[in-house]
Amino acid sequence: MGGSGYDFAVRPQILGAYAGTLNAASSELAAVREALAAVHIDRGWFGKLPQSGLLADRYTAHREAELAAAAELSAWLATAADGLGGTAERYSGADRVAAELAGTVETGLGIGTGLIYRTNPIPESEEDEPDE
């Protein structure tokens, strides 16, 4: 067993897929929030008993807090998706640069084909696919 213990493989496609999943969740949550925001309950619907005003106030405070939380969570999901998408792009770019450099070195040394990564990409594994 060798290595530093920090060895890992990054699959940019998986990061991109997860970013897409987070973007979809953000959009869905935003749509739910809009639907909830469209529901209005009149204060009078809580009745005329002495505590009905308190109940109406608590409902209003709870509703506003939930709408704010949904908006905040939707924004966080979108931000995470943007970050993952950017990370996937950077890893893909780094892989391309490394492959091109390795191919150039091979060609310069007169060994190999100079097409390391382009002809033999890292195989995809079904176990790396995100769960739906």
Please tell me whether the overall predicted TM-score, pTM, comes out greater than 0.85 for this model.
no
Place of tokens 């970050």: 83
Task: Count CB atoms within 10 A of the CB of residue 82.
Answer: 14
Determine the pLDDT at residue 96. 86
CB-based contact 113:102 (threshold 8 Å): no
Tokens of 108: 């310069």
User: Could you tell me how many residues make up the chain?
Assistant: 132
| Rounded Cα distance, 31 and 93, in Å | 34
Backbone angles phi, psi at 65, to 5 degrees: -65, -40
Q: Using 70 as the pLDDT threshold, list the residues of the chain that sit under it.
A: 1-4, 112-132
CB-based contact 12:92 (threshold 8 Å): yes
Determine the pLDDT at residue 122. 53
